[in-house]
Amino acid sequence: MYLPDNITILGAGRTGLSCIKFLADRVRQLELVDEKISSEKLSQLVEQYPNVSVLGHIEEANLKLTDLIILSPGINPNREELDMFKDKCIGDVELFLRFVDKPVVAITGTNGKSTVVTLVGEVLRQAGINVGVGGNLGTPCIELLSNKYDIYVLELSSFQLELIDSVSAEVACILNITPDHLERHLTMENYINIKRKIYKNTKHFVFNRDDELTNIPSAAKDANSFGLSTVFDSYSSGLSADHRFLMLGTERVLETDKLQILGMHNWSNLLAVITICSNFQVPLDIVRDTLVNFKGLPNRCQIVKKENGVVWINDSKATNVSSTKASIKGVANQRRSIILFLGGLSKGQQFFELQDPLSKYVKLIILFGRDAKLIAEQIQHDEMLFVADLGDGIKHAEEFATKEDIVLFAPGCSSFDMFNDYVDRGNQFTQLVQER
């Protein structure tokens, strides 16, 4: 694969460093720009890659002369310094796609991506396929090229898809589309169009028939769906009429009461896995065994404590309104028994969309983080409490909770006001709960 002589990489996080490692011996001139790089990390990079120019400000980079600019996902391609050079900008996934020579399963969606990607990878692995799993989840896709896999399963975020020309996947799936990251993408239309780029030049399409925004292009010929309804297409998945079984066509795959993960939104995720894997003729007993043993990923509707009849659930991965709504509905019982933690960076979302589940299922809302007051202004509830930090909130939740209540940590916001990321946020919540 041809590479130009001069390449600039913006961002020295894990993605940027994976690109440096991949390109260091392949191009004549390589420079790395990171405006937040520490002196310690700078020294390490200079020692490890003496032929790479490491810069601390984008103004120091020679963007006019460079042939290609690789942006880390956290770098907004619409920033002013890049206006004149957008035709040179790609992301690490586009770089990966230019080199990969094996089939790619590409999965995106506002919510559920990591769960589905993890499970598809595990099902294929159990079927004896040598599979590489990564992208937005875990291993940057460029790192995956260091091993000779037979198939690649990638989680792709809107930030990554924004910088891709064409995925050309063997199988492409959009799980769902609801408002998110509008502070970067500006409009819902932009966000939808970016997500739908995953379908370009795809061989097999998988879409969510419960979400019309995921619908396939009209010209698509090879398409199957998943959804929380009955289905009669042999290669699409859904629920039995009595909701007792996950189905592939008319064939029963798994009893729902044997699942170890909470919520119908997770049933939808598992149905997506079933449909995606049907494209590879994986025996249903392998799919069944993998799904029935899955206990969920950390920070995703994870039960972290049961005490005095109260269940504490960490769903820190609920970083947007739609995922919080799904989380509430997924764990709710027939009464208002949920104590909900809500707060962080709101990302310009509309929190009034939570009003119905809040009214039906939530007895107390504990608000924290930078945008707590902004969120409170958009919702109506007779019990709302502002707290300074998680420790304070957990103390009040413990005092307020009674037998058969659920304390649900599903903040509906990004975490960067108070935490390193949603993982850090979830870990801190879990630790504080378990220490009490």
Active site residue 62: no
Residue pair 415/401 in contact (Cβ under 8 Å)? The answer is no
The number of CA neighbours under 13 Å toward the Cβ of 432 is 19
Nearest to 308 by CA among 397, 227, 221: 397
Active site residue 308: no
In degrees and rounded to multiples of 5, residue 226 shows phi and psi of: -140, 160
What is the identity of the amino acid at 246? L
Q: Are strands 68-71 and 89-91 parallel, antiparallel or unpaired?
A: parallel
Q: How far apart, in Å, are the Cα atoms of 64 and each of 9, 119, 163?
A: 14, 44, 19
Q: Which of 41, 78, 88, 113 is catalytic?
A: 113
Active site residue 57: no
Residue pair 104/124 in contact (Cβ under 8 Å)? The answer is no
How many C-beta neighbours within 10 Å does residue 284 have? 15
Q: What's the CA gap between 365 and 387, in Å, rounded?
A: 10
Q: Which of 136, 224, 269, 279 is catalytic?
A: 136
Residues 6+ apart with CB under 8 A from 143: 18, 21, 22, 134
Q: Which of 111, 176, 181, 325 is catalytic?
A: 181
Active-site positions read 113, 136, 181
